[in-house]
Amino acid sequence: MVTFDIHDHNTTSTEAIHVNMFNYLVKRGEDGFDPDLAESWENVDDNTWKFKLREGVKFHNGEELTADDVKFTLERVANDNKLLEHGNYSQIKEVKVINDLEFEIITHQPEPALLNRLSRLGSGILPSKYIEEEGWDKFLENPVGTGPYKFVEWKKDDRVVIEANSDYFGEAPKWNKVTFRAIPEDSTRVSELLTGGVDIATNLPPSDWERVKDNEATEVAQGPTQRVMMLVLRQTEGHATSDPKVREAIDLAIDKQAILDSLMEGSGTVTRTRVTPGNTGANEDLYGKTLYDPEKAKQLLKEAGYGDGLELKLSAPNGRYLKDKESAELIQAMLGEVGIDLKLEFLEWSSFADKYASKSFDDMFLIGYGNSMFDAALALDRLSSKQAEGETDYNNPEVDKLLEEAMSNMNAEERAKQYQKAQEIIAEERPQIYLYQLDAVYGVNKGLNFEPRLDEMLYVDDITVK
């Protein structure tokens, strides 16, 4: 976990903890959206959505939830462009309080994906009175939500402890205390699982799958995710990666299927897009596809003026994603084969997240993005010229136009086509080079019922004793 500022991170592993402490207005159901803090809602007109809150919901400090808290939360992220989640909420013009339980969300233009936005990272409702009286720093030290679990302790890069909230408005919490531990080293994480130190271990390395299955007390749980691993490349002037031929050469030099086969027992799917099946606007023509042609990569480098070689720097997290360090090392070897000398920088996740937030990476970085919105709007947002500034500096007016028009298009079919066209252009221009969609593999105590979720959230009340 990197922060308790729900608006200033883009990290699924952080959100996987937050979902137990904070509630959204609505939550994603099997067929559409279900009530959470909001018991009902309606789309009054293209720019206005009206909501009614549940009555009697209390924050962990005893304060009652009101529409003022919704206004405070959503307008904070909608109006502060320094927050990492601002781009996903800047569509909101105003939250108009009608009374303690009713409010309207007014958007700048038609917003077809508003409910998607309100059911994900950045939409947990904050206690406005507590923050205004005690200050933001106090909240970050002692966070307060409305969820089934409340804060006990956070030791950065080590553990987060939460305990049951006896005043929860919904079903009573199933556990008295829950501890999330950060254990980046594969061998240590697996050892803790096998000896009973942890009950569920994420990112279980393939080399240990059989060992976990053979152990009397543990088993393996596996399922698909929304997460796509990718290289993010600077197109900033002065960087070799600003040359489209260099970017294409990097793409063609990497055998993505070989990475999956050698490091992950083939668990994953190669892709040329981040918008994978199951998301609104997915371009399935680019999914399950890969390009690999090292000879052409060498030729492209020669044409770009790097026939005698090229040195680039890649920053990568160590221990955040399944086999992230080993994947970067394989990419280094593959690029070396075509004449690119790749210097690697490995960072612990909190250091990586700090560098990510400050947009201070060099030529490239390795990252895996999920999609908590289940919509192309989130997947492609960082590639609008405004959002890309300082990170990739990607700027394509046609892509900008497609993304902008799709953002407010209430015609679902037209909107999907706009996103599909944008993905075709992005796949050719490569501000991001997509590698593969990851499967999630967990080691689990056999005494527990645990089902991996597509969104990788860890709702602890979904985990039960057999």
Q: Which two tokens stand for residue 116?
A: 């998607």
279 alpha-carbon distance from chain centroid = 14
pLDDT for position 450: 97
pLDDT for position 443: 98
pLDDT for position 313: 98
Name all domains of the chain by residue range, CATH numbers in brackets: 22-129 (3.90.76.10), 224-439 (3.10.105.10)
Q: Give the separation between CA 128 and CA 135, rounded to whole angstroms.
A: 10
Report the b/e string of 285-311 with b at 16+ CB within 10 A: ebbeebbbbbeebbbbbeebebeeebe
Please give the average pLDDT of every successive group of 10 residues along the chain, which has 466 residues: 94 94 93 93 94 98 98 98 92 98 97 93 96 97 98 97 97 98 94 98 93 97 92 96 98 98 92 94 96 98 96 95 95 98 95 93 96 91 94 97 94 96 98 95 97 93 96
Residue 93 in contact with residue 108, Cβ under 8 Å?
Answer: yes
- The H-or-E segment that residue 112 falls in is none
Q: Among the residues of 57-185, which ranges form H helices?
A: 67-79, 114-117, 128-134, 136-141
10 Å CB burial of residue 392 (0-12, 13-18, 19+) is buried
pLDDT for position 278: 86
pLDDT for position 402: 98
